[in-house]
């Protein structure tokens, strides 16, 4: 341990040990108390989502209590409306399971017979295994769906306290801000207020931006599936869109089920090809047009850190953790860029530092110009 200019400098090994202990303690708390913390964090994100509505109502001279209640009712109506739509469409899907089982069996036989003719090998055991797996999935789909929806609705009703969290987070937002400022020396209040405003702006723009992206993707996906002629187009379009609340992984996860339906329950392999083609188009549109212009400019996190955060969030809190991860890391990025001691963290999470290697439109134009000159 050294003393330099009145400051104590600890050995690197000691600092690394403290950092690892802090990470382990954070992981332990998040894992051990996830059933308590998860509703609060989700409630905070939901509060950011409906904040523009409640803020607008307050500007119209509506009391904060009434504005918050109206915003929560509107938000819950949207959530329950989506769940009710999924439930009804899923019930229709389940009534067609017997027919789908027969078509799946026919398709599996066709696929493996074609492979045997092309490759000149027998695939009896593999075909039987795949047939048994598909048969099991479709046979048990009713029980799985009923169980899944039972858990979902029971959970929504048992954690009815979440709307209470949302109400009080919105009602006491000024009190929370004042509390944070009380912990900070007066000379740093201007900087602290700037950080709080930036954190709030990032969270609001991310939540509302993702909502708009998901809405647009629902329309695109559903229209695409309807044009293709895929069965249960609206249900599949909504499912694929909702998965985009999870960046990067979402589109892939969302299109696995439509691809499964196309391969095993439709009467032609063309449907599967068209679903893959639509996936490529939607993936390109979402990654290069929608998300960068609606969400990306406010989050400003490099893709590698987003992937690590989503993986870590899913490992700890499951699907909700994957959704929560990105705004949490965005908040850390804001803190890192504005607090001197956390500058390395802000640099690591942000997009700066690799500009010379980035693929940009200007670089592509320069490559084409060079190729023309060389010709």
**310 and 331 fall within a common domain:** yes
Q: Tell me, yes or no, whether 113 lies in a domain.
A: no
**329 HSE (CA, 13 A, CB side):** 27
pLDDT at 171: 93
Q: Tell me, yes or no, whether 372 lies in a domain.
A: no
**171 and 22 fall within a common domain:** no
Element (H, E) at 362: helix 361-374
**291 and 339 fall within a common domain:** yes
Q: Tell me, yes or no, whether 169 lies in a domain.
A: yes
**166 and 19 fall within a common domain:** no
pLDDT at 67: 93
Element (H, E) at 217: helix 189-228
pLDDT at 155: 58
**263 and 234 fall within a common domain:** yes
pLDDT at 69: 93
Q: Tell me, yes or no, whether 66 lies in a domain.
A: yes
**177 and 237 fall within a common domain:** yes
pLDDT at 23: 83
**15 and 53 fall within a common domain:** no
- For residue 246, give both structure tokens: 């999870």
**28 and 147 fall within a common domain:** no
Number of domains in the chain: 2
Q: Tell me, yes or no, whether 374 lies in a domain.
A: no
**271 and 221 fall within a common domain:** yes
Which residue in 80, 289, 254, 50 sits closest to 170, CA to CA?
50
13-46 burial, b at 16+ Cβ within 10 Å, e below that, comes to eeeeeeeeeeeeeeeeebeeebeebbbebbbbbb
pLDDT at 154: 47
Q: Tell me, yes or no, whether 129 lies in a domain.
A: no
pLDDT at 51: 92
pLDDT at 149: 47
pLDDT at 107: 67
Stated pTM of the model: 0.76
**27 and 46 fall within a common domain:** no
One digit per residue, the tens of pLDDT, for the chain of length 375 reads 555 555 556 677 777 788 789 888 988 898 888 888 888 888 899 999 999 999 999 999 899 999 999 999 998 888 888 888 888 887 777 776 666 666 666 666 666 666 556 655 555 555 555 555 555 555 555 454 454 444 554 455 456 778 889 999 999 999 999 999 999 888 888 999 999 999 998 888 889 888 999 999 999 999 999 998 888 889 899 999 988 888 778 888 889 888 888 877 777 778 888 999 999 998 888 887 888 777 766 778 888 888 888 888 888 888 888 888 888 998 889 988 888 888 888 888 887 766 666 655 566 667 666 666 666
**215 and 266 fall within a common domain:** yes
pLDDT at 66: 94
Q: 6: domain range? A: 1-32
Q: Tell me, yes or no, whether 9 lies in a domain.
A: yes
pLDDT at 47: 93
- ∠ CA 30-36-37, nearest 5°, is 50
Q: Tell me, yes or no, whether 363 lies in a domain.
A: no
Cα–Cα dist 73/81, whole Å = 12
**90 and 3 fall within a common domain:** no
pLDDT at 237: 92
User: From residue 181, how far is each of 80, 196, 332, 348 by CA, in Å?
Assistant: 37, 10, 18, 27
- Tell me the pLDDT tens digit for each residue of 179-188: 999 998 888 8
- Tell me the pLDDT tens digit for each residue of 85-135: 888 887 777 776 666 666 666 666 666 666 556 655 555 555 555 555 555
Which residue in 352, 357, 355 sits closest to 337, CA to CA?
352
């Amino acid at each position: 341990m050294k003393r330099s200019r009145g400051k104590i400098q600890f050995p690197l090994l000691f600092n690394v040990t403290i950092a690892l202990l802090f990470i382990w303690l954070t992981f332990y708390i998040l894992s051990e108390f996830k059933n308590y913390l998860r509703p609060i964090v989700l409630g905070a994100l939901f509060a950011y989502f409906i904040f523009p509505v409640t803020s607008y109502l307050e500007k119209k001279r509506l009391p904060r209590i009434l504005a918050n209640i109206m915003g929560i009712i509107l938000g819950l109506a949207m959530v329950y409306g989506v769940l009710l739509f999924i439930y009804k469409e899923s019930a229709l899907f389940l009534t067609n399971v017997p027919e789908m089982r027969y078509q799946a069996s026919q398709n599996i036989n066709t696929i493996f017979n074609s492979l045997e003719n092309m490759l000149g090998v027998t695939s009896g055991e593999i075909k039987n295994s795949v047939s048994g797996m598909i048969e099991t999935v479709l046979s048990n789909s009713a029980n799985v769906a009923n169980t899944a929806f039972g858990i979902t609705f029971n959970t929504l009703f048992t954690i009815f306290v979440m709307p209470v969290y949302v109400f009080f987070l919105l009602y006491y937002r000024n009190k929370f801000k004042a509390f944070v400022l009380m912990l900070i020396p007066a000379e740093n209040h201007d900087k602290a207020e700037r950080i709080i405003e930036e954190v709030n702006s990032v969270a609001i723009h991310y939540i509302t931006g993702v909502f708009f992206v998901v809405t647009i993707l629902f329309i695109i996906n559903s229209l695409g599936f309807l044009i293709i002629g895929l069965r249960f187009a609206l249900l599949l379009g909504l499912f694929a869109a909702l998965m985009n609340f999870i960046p990067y992984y979402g589109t892939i996860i969302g299109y696995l089920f439509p691809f499964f339906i196309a391969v095993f329950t439709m009467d032609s392999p063309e449907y599967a090809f068209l679903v893959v083609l639509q996936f490529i188009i939607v993936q390109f549109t979402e990654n290069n047009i929608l998300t960068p212009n609606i969400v990306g400019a406010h989050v400003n996190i490099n893709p590698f850190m987003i992937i690590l955060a989503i993986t870590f969030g899913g490992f700890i809190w499951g699907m909700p953790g994957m959704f929560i991860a990105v705004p949490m890391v965005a908040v850390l990025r804001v803190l890192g860029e504005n607090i001197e001691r956390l500058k390395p963290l802000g640099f690591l999470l942000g997009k700066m530092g690799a500009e010379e290697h980035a693929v940009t439109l200007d670089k592509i134009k320069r490559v084409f110009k060079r190729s023309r000159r060389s010709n």
